[in-house]
Amino acid sequence: MKPVIYITRKLPEEAIAPLLEKYTVRMWESASESVPRDVLLKEVAEADALWSVLADSIDKEVFDAATKLKVVSNLAVGFNNIDIDVAKEKGIIVTNTPDVLTETTADLAFALILATARRITEAENELRKGNWKSWSVMDFTGMDVGGSTLGIIGMGRIGEAAARRAKGFNMRVLYQNRTRKEEAEEEHGFEYADLDTLLQESDIVLIFAPLTPETENMIGESELTKMKKTAILVNVARGGIVNEEALYHALKDGTIWGAGLDVFEVEPVPMDNPLLTLPNVTVLPHIGSASIRTRHAMMKMNLQAITDVLEGRDPENRVV
């Protein structure tokens, strides 16, 4: 009997074609809707490999149901959706897809910075509504990006890629990270700062930190009040890092000027989330790595990791 691979989203045929000869491949029917919990639990009970996405909660209940499971390959660089401790306890390998999405996600971060600072989506929406009657001196005026100070929270691969882009905008770059990046400081002039200093001096605060118990609600009311009233907060990491209630009030009462969000505490974001009512928030549906080339590269990494494990090899990008 062929080993069974279960895929929690409908993927392009060309992405799974190399698996079909050696493996029994089962796949959820929707590309955009999460696999129902009961279906996931049923399928994982017979699976040797699970190909997951970041919207799937791969927790103890899933692992307990998975009597044959050898590997979970997550289509994301983050893996906070997976109970790593339980996977390790049960001897199940977990892999992710780092590196290949670095440049694409850094591009998206700068797109959000520019869209928020220059009120691009707000202006476009008004044009499409037919509200552009004449040229106006102060309509849709925003904040300059070039020459401003960028503060990066989480200076990993993606953070460094964004910081390099900032130098092209003649920006001063501050960063906060668990470890100093002395080589990058020397080569590019990036400046290490504690969190308070970064918040107080930055015109744009950009979040790339992973979601961990230490970073959950890292940016709350206290932190937002330390930012400039003209500052912009951009989050392309994980929604739980920013307290959304505190952010809503900070944006509504003018504590900070604007925000750009690619991630939310609950995804998909509920349509009654009050942040969606604010004109000074630019919102996106978690598309940081969403370029055609990058998504195909990520799927290729997942495929390789799964085949490596099922054929007895140690995979690259192993988390546990």
188 counts as catalytic: no
Residue-wise burial string across 104-135, b where 16 or more C-beta atoms lie within 10 A, e elsewhere: bbbbbbbbbbebbbbbebbbeeeeeeeeeeee
- Encoded tokens for 193: 């700062």
From the list 39, 37, 13, the residue with the least C-alpha distance to 25 is 13
Please count the other Cβ atoms lying within 10 Å of the Cβ belonging to residue 63: 20
The Cα–Cα gap between 307 and 314 comes to 10
The pair phi, psi for residue 212, each rounded to 5°, is: -135, 170
Sign of CA dihedral 30, 36, 37, 39: negative
How many other C-beta atoms are found inside a 10 Å radius of the C-beta of residue 204?
27
Catalytic residue from among 9, 119, 165, 238: 238
Q: Respond yes or no: is residue 119 known to be catalytic.
A: no
- Determine which one of 191, 201, 265, 267 is catalytic: 267
- The single residue of 286, 293, 296, 316 carrying the catalytic annotation is 286
The string of DSSP codes covering 245-271 is HHHHHHHHTTSSSEEEES--SSSSPPT
Task: Determine which helix (DSSP H) or strand (DSSP E) holds 293, and give its type and residue range.
Answer: helix 292-310
Judge whether 160 and 180 are in contact, CB under 8 Å: no
Name which of 45, 88, 89 is nearest 69 in CA terms: 45
What distances in angstroms separate CA 258 from CA 30, 56, 142, 278, 283, one per listed residue?
A: 35, 30, 10, 9, 11
Catalytic residue status for 296: no
Q: Is the peptide bond before 315 cis (omega within 30 degrees of 0)?
A: no
- Which tokens sit at 147? 């020459």
Please give the positions annotated as active site: 238, 267, 286
